[in-house]
Amino acid sequence: TNGHKEVIDYCIAPSENIEVWTDMLQNMKSRGLKQVEIFLSDGVVGMKTALARTYPKAHFQRCLVHVMRNICAKVRVDDREKIMNEFKQVHQQTNKEEATAVLHD
């Protein structure tokens, strides 16, 4: 609530898969991390499933930068600036209702 952020784990793994993420989350849990409110990550394979297994009450949110990169990869170069500006307008709203209204406009 005060904006404080902290890195609580770090690992180097030969691949990114559900087993690696489950081990990492279980390690955090065994070191005393009781509950996670929100977990932000890129779209790595297996992370959302591993999180649901280890911290079922946690909310998963995909990193905004990665979402934007994926959108850019799917639109023509000439349209990217316009699309990104429109995406930002939706994302910057304070609640879902306002975001939905901007999206439909």
- Amino acid identity for residue 39 in this structure: F
| Residue for token pair 């023509």 | 76
Instruction: Classify 66 as helix, strand or coil.
Output: helix
Residue 21 CB burial class (10 angstroms; 0-12, 13-18, ≥19):
buried
pLDDT of residue 13: 85
Q: pLDDT tens-digit profile of 15-57?
A: 888 999 999 999 999 999 999 898 888 878 888 999 999 999 9
